[in-house]
Chain A
């Protein structure tokens, strides 16, 4: 198991609401990436944070936003939830000494009704 943790484990929200998901990186990891995994599909890149700055963004609308804190933990915020936002949200952290290897957290299962 990796040292990456996420909260909450599961979440049910109503369309139009806002949600905040949290990720705690493995010790020594200063890069966090967020991915959305719809049922039966591969993860899709949302964005990445490196030393508290956004360092790349995938094809997701601005209502998906994020933060990284000085301790390298991170948040994913989604506004105006839509039914299609229902998915497993994964964060992955990378060590400063290993510029590619990404280790995933257990994910947050978001259901939008």
Chain B
């Protein structure tokens, strides 16, 4: 069935260092890959997404890369700050115009940025 594997489950970095979280998806028809940040007790917040017709997307300190052949996608955070500490979820879905696909989530990565 559809599955998304996410690694690592926990990640601890020093402030200013980079953090990388990796995901693998199983359904080759997946064409949309969002990343969510969830702080303790709060809603998942969409921070960046990428569609299958693009290999890389960047938004300030956050970037996402996609390798469709290997069915891998990754989140890169540069110059990490303590406020980046949270649980990060990757997801994959199959969507098309007029239809929003269901999101299949990874297991989450707890990122801790030490001051």
Contact = CB atoms under 8 A, between A and B. Distances in A.
17 contacts: A41-B108, A42-B89, A42-B108, A43-B105, A48-B100, A55-B99, A56-B101, A99-B97, A100-B34, A100-B93, A100-B95, A100-B100, A101-B34, A104-B43, A104-B46, A106-B42, A106-B43
Number of contact residues on A: which range applies? 20 to 34
Interface of A: 2, 31, 33, 35, 40-45, 48, 50, 55-56, 58, 90, 92, 94, 99-107
Interface bin, chain B: 20 to 34
B43 A31 contact: no
Contacts, number: 67
A43 B98 CA distance: 23
A39 to B, nearest CB: 11
B86 to A, nearest CB: 14
B103 A101 contact: no
Interface string B22-49: 0000000000101010000011111001
B49 A101 contact: yes
